[in-house]
Amino acid sequence: MTTVGDQSGWWGQFFSGLCLEYVRNARDDEQTQAELGFIHEALGLPTRSRVLDVPCGSGRLALELADWRYRVTAIDQSAELIAAARNEAAQRGLELDLRQGDMRRLPEDGSFDGAVCFWNSFGYFDDPGNLEFLRAVSRSLKPGGRLTLDTPLLETLLLDAVQEPRVWERAGDLLALEERSYDHESGRLESTWTFIRGGQREVREMSIRLYAYRELVAVLEQAGFGDRQAYGDLDLTPFELGAPWLYLVTTKTENPES
């Protein structure tokens, strides 16, 4: 879920303290296994294929993909989350390449068979920065390599954000409140997150570029992706208006534009 090494954006302050505990505990095993099943089906890769997970957060998916005998490289900006992932990998005897770094600075050697960007981890930057990230992913993939991406869209989230501007979530003994609004000038979903545990309370600000489906497709095409399949859930239901989320599978068809 977390993103880049450059700390000048909102993410430099957001992913710290209680938020990191939320990242580690907000998704249960059932959700994780459902996402893994979707990724496995979407990528359609044999064991020992090279898979890039970016950004990987605490390694929730990367560790399981390694357990499924993929050769995984996982990148995240948070030193604390990467350290936790390395510790769990050692305890479980799993081999994978865990790196702290900027998600726009990837191994652009065209050696990966597939890539994963999950848990609302796209749209953190301005439009040039989001395109830069997708181009980096494209350059990391072999021709025909697939990217699987989950993200909200303008079509999936805007009505919810207007009708339900305050959302509570629980992760273990941690409560999280998201208060959100949409800025039509910037096309961004602006959120204030409050994390509460006992008497401890921390407030963080988040800003996500909320693309319409057509806009997202245009950016992906600029980055060298095509041949896409769009789903509205992890059961591979075709995406349509009214779906709560977008799960997209897209294929590298050409080298990205400069």
Picking from 92, 109, 119, the residue whose alpha carbon sits closest to that of residue 22 is 119
Whole-angstrom Cα distance, residue 82 to residue 94?
14
60 and 111 share a domain? Answer: yes
Output the pLDDT for position 6: 44
38 and 64 share a domain? Answer: yes
For residue 5, being part of any structural domain is answered with: no
Number of domains in the chain: 2
Picking from 117, 113, 112, 115, the residue whose alpha carbon sits closest to that of residue 149 is 117
Domain assignment of residue 191, given as a range: 156-208
Side-chain-facing half-sphere of 213: CA atoms under 13 Å: 17
Whole-angstrom Cα distance, residue 163 to residue 152?
16
Residues in the chain predicted with pLDDT less than 50, given as ranges, are 1-7
50 and 143 share a domain? Answer: yes
- Which alpha helices (H) appear in 104-200, and where do they start and end? 127-140, 154-163
98 and 217 share a domain? Answer: yes
Cβ pair 194, 202 in contact under 8 A: yes
Output the pLDDT for position 8: 54
For residue 94, being part of any structural domain is answered with: yes
50 and 110 share a domain? Answer: yes
221 and 143 share a domain? Answer: yes
Output the pLDDT for position 2: 42
For residue 23, being part of any structural domain is answered with: yes
For helices 127-140 and 213-222, angle between their N-to-C axes, nearest 10 degrees = 50
Output the pLDDT for position 11: 85
Q: Where are the beta strands (DSSP E) in the chain?
A: 50-53, 71-76, 97-100, 112-117, 141-151, 166-171, 174-183, 188-197, 200-209, 225-231, 246-252
* Residue-wise pLDDT tens digits, 135-178: 999 999 999 999 999 999 999 988 888 789 999 999 999 999 99
pTM: 0.92
* Residue-wise pLDDT tens digits, 91-108: 999 999 999 999 999 998
For residue 39, being part of any structural domain is answered with: yes
CATH label of the domain that carries residue 21:
3.40.50.150
CATH label of the domain that carries residue 184:
2.20.25
Return all residues near 93 (Cβ < 8 A) that are at least 6 apart.
Answer: none
148 and 175 share a domain? Answer: no
Whole-angstrom Cα distance, residue 125 to residue 4?
10
Cβ pair 77, 55 in contact under 8 A: yes
For residue 258, being part of any structural domain is answered with: no
